[in-house]
Amino acid sequence: MQISDIQKAVRQQKASISRRVEEALKKIEQNSHLNAFTQVFADQARERAQQLEEQLSAGKNPGPLTGVIMAIKDNINIAGRRTTCASKILENFVSPFDATVIQRLREAGAIFIGKTNMDEFAMGSSSENSYFGSVKNPLNPDYVAGGSSGGSAVAVAIGACDAALGSETGGSIRQPASFTGLVGIKPTYGRVSRYGLVAYASSLDQIGVFARTVQDTAAILQIIAGHDEKDSTSAEVEVVDYATTINRDFKELKIGLPKQYFADGLDAEIREGILKITNELAKQGANVEEFDLPLTRYAIATYYIIATAEASSNLARYDGVRYGFRAPEVDDLQEMYASTRSKGFGKEVKRRILLGTYVLSAGYYDAYYKKAMQVRRLIKEELNNAFKKYDVIVTPTTPTTAFKLGEKISDPLTMYLMDIYTVTANLAGICAINLPAGKHSNGLPFGLQVMAPAFREERLFQLGATIERMQS
Ligand code: GLN
């Protein structure tokens, strides 16, 4: 059922919210081998369903998402629940407050079914860097689900929820959406409040949505988007009504295809699949044109310098004093810090803290961090110039389909290259979406990415809805 159908069905009391919750819980149980959830809130979800049903019977309207079941990435705070970030260091940390997105979804009538597994502190592209073990791809459990929001993607793909929240720093929603055949949006930086999202790299992080259709994705973003006085980086830009703009004709749009995103390293079948769609759009009246984005080659290096620099600073707060785990049997304060962090963080997180500390250190700051900030600015300008010519930019989301579990985990550089098409949008602070674009002959899905200028999410939805109609 689409979210709009759920609305009608529960309002007319044609569908029982409790029954839908039971069905979701059953899916979670049947798919427990995929390791998508870190916590399941069975009893609370049942109670909430009953409350909502009572409100409906009393003639009340609990909100536009009444009875919509959602899964939440385990780096977003829900009051009274654990926020583990899939890390030992936060394994038993219980959040005293709701993130703003949670508060808004709750007020809209959504039901939270559980928290989802992820790469530790959102660092990774495969959801294998989890203290709770790897997430597996529902289409083939020998393959990864993508990351870092892999659990949220799987939760939606198996029907354990209607939509899920993930977070993005460099592709963590779009990439797993591509690997599991879903729609996944990274909103513009500042579009959605980050209050209550555990920080990885604050200048890149943004909460976003996974769903099975463009309409559903838009319906959730509608609720969570908008200014929040608790997050000074959230923007005071009006949120347009996505439901009314989504079906607007979009046939004469100008689509840019950056050559660098179709070059060597891209799987031939994915290239063909994406171009088939853009050719079809051209036939329907779109103006499709190739162009150059030469700075693309610096995107990965720039991203991994800035992301690790910010991470090393953000993660300094996990010292065994204020949050979560504290190493036992230590003699003094220094040893307590060292032992807590050595035991509490996983390998990839430590690698990034070291990298980030290095690029920020006095002798290397100018050569790495400062240079990366300058290149980031140029990348942003290059994209903004492209948007003077094109309404949207279309690319593949990932160079390959999902890879095998264990295949890249010991080679961080090839893992980092998985983000080659996605990091640019985070560096530039613009919005981007993954749309399911077809199935590879290996049986796994692949995705098409649309990028639009800052705060123009409605363009992603308009084109997304057009492509969805073309494929059905
Ligand atoms: N794979 C990227 C990284 O490891 C992106 C992660 C993310 O978007 N959270 O940094």
- pLDDT tens digits for 226-237? 999 999 999 999
Range of the domain at 323: 1-472
> Over the Cα atoms of the chain, what is R_g?
21
Structure-block tokens of residue 229: 């006085």
pLDDT of residue 11: 85
Give the C-alpha separation, 191 to 168, whole Å.
13
pLDDT band at 252 (very low <50, low <70, confident <90, very high): confident
Arithmetic mean of pLDDT, 348-356: 97
Is residue 148 in contact with ligand 1, taking CB distance under 6 Å?
Answer: yes
Distance, in Å, from the CA atom of 10 to the CA atom of 409, rounded to the nearest integer, reads 44
Catalytic-residue membership of 172:
yes
Q: Report whether pLDDT(137) > 90.
A: yes
Closest atom of ligand 1 relative to the 423 alpha carbon: 5
71 Cβ inside 6 Å of ligand 1: no
How would residue 471 be classed by pLDDT, with cut points 50, 70 and 90?
Answer: confident
The atom of ligand 1 lying closest to the CA of 200 is 9
Q: Decide if pLDDT at 221 tops 80.
A: yes
Report pLDDT for 115.
Answer: 98
Distance, CA of 151 to CA of 153 (rounded, Å): 5
If we measure between CA atoms, which residue out of 152, 177, 154 comes closest to residue 166?
152
Residue 50 is part of a domain; what is its CATH number?
A: 3.90.1300.10
Reply yes or no on whether the pLDDT at 346 is more than 80: yes
pLDDT beyond 80 at 249: no
Q: Write down the catalytic residue from 87, 126, 148, 178.
A: 148
pLDDT at 206 over 90: yes
Give the per-residue pLDDT at 247: 86
Between the CA of 148 and the centroid of ligand 1 the distance, in Å, is 6
Does 12 have pLDDT greater than 90? no
pLDDT in tens, 256-295: 999 999 999 999 999 999 999 999 999 999 999 999 999 9
- Ligand 1 binding pocket mutation candidate from 118, 119, 120, 125 (most atoms within 8 A of CB): 125
Q: Is 101 in the pocket of ligand 1 (CB under 6 A)?
A: no
Residue 146 Cβ inside 6 Å of ligand 1? The answer reads: no
pLDDT of residue 188: 98
On whether the CB atoms of residues 115 and 82 are closer than 8 A, the answer is: yes
Q: In the prediction, which pLDDT does 226 show?
A: 98
Task: Tell which one of 174, 409, 419 to mutate to probe ligand 1, the residue whose CB is within 8 A of the most ligand atoms.
Answer: 419
Sheet with 392-396, side-by-side order of all strands: 37-40, 111-116, 69-73, 163-168, 206-211, 183-186, 431-439, 445-452, 392-396, 254-258, 287-291
Question: Among 177-186, 348-357, 397-406, 408-417, where is mean pLDDT lowest?
Answer: 408-417
Q: What is the pLDDT of residue 190?
A: 98
* CA–CA distance, 166 with 149 (Å, rounded to integer): 5
Three state DSSP letters for the chain: CCHHHHHHHHHCCCCCHHHHHHHHHHHHHHCHHHCCEEEECHHHHHHHHHHHHHHHHCCCCCCCCCCCEEEEECCECCCCCECCCCCHHHCCCECCCCCHHHHHHHHCCCEEEEEECCCHHHCCCCCCCCCCCCCEECCEEEEECCCCCHHHHHHHHCCCCCEEEEEECCCCCHHHHHHHCCEEEECCCCCECCCCECCCCCCCCEEEEEECCHHHHHHHHHHHECCCCCCCCCCCCCCCCHHHHCCCCCCCCEEEEEHHHHCCCCCHHHHHHHHHHHHHHHHCCCEEEEECCHHHHHHHHHHHHHHHHHHHHHHHHCCCCCCCCCCCCCCCHHHHHHHHHHHHCCHHHHHHHHHHHHHHCCCCCHHHHHHHHHHHHHHHHHHHHHHHHCCEEEEECCCCCCCECCCCCCCHHHHHHCCCCCHHHHHHCCEEEEEEEEECCCCCEEEEEEEECCCCHHHHHHHHHHHHHHHC
Q: What pLDDT, on the 0 to 100 scale, is given for residue 7?
A: 87
Q: Residue 63, by phi and psi: left (phi above 0), alpha (psi -120 to 50) or beta?
A: left
pLDDT of amino acid 250: 73
* Confidence at 123, pLDDT banded by 50, 70, 90: very high
Q: How far is the CA of 232 from the centre of ligand 1 (A)?
A: 23
Pocket flag, ligand 1, residue 169 (CB < 6 Å): yes
From the CB of 445, is ligand 1 less than 6 Å away?
Answer: no
Pocket test for ligand 1, best of 85, 87, 116, 123 (most atoms within 8 A of CB): 123
Nearest to 464 by CA among 453, 449, 454: 449
pLDDT tens, position by position, 416-431: 989 999 999 999 999 9
Give bridge partners of residue 143 from the DSSP assignment: 404
The answer for 408, left when phi > 0, alpha when psi is -120 to 50, beta otherwise, is: alpha
Residue nearest (by alpha carbon) to ligand 1 atom 10: 123
Band of pLDDT at residue 316, cut at 50, 70 and 90: very high
In sequence order, which residues have a C-beta less than 8 Å from that of residue 348 and are 6 or more positions away?
Answer: 119, 120, 123, 124, 129, 412
Q: pLDDT tens, 52-91?
A: 999 999 999 999 999 999 999 999 999 999 999 999 999 9
Nearest CA residue ID for atom 4, ligand 1: 124
Does 273 contact ligand 1 (Cβ within 6 A)? no
Q: Average pLDDT of the chain?
A: 96
Residue 396, pLDDT > 90, answer yes
What is the torsional sign of CA 138, 446, 253, 451? positive
Ligand 1 within 6 A of CB of 344: no
Token output for 80: 């009274």
Are 242 and 455 a contacting pair, CB within 8 Å? Answer: no
- Please tell me if the CB atom of residue 170 comes closer than 6 angstroms to any atom of ligand 1: yes
Question: Into how many domains does the chain fold?
Answer: 1
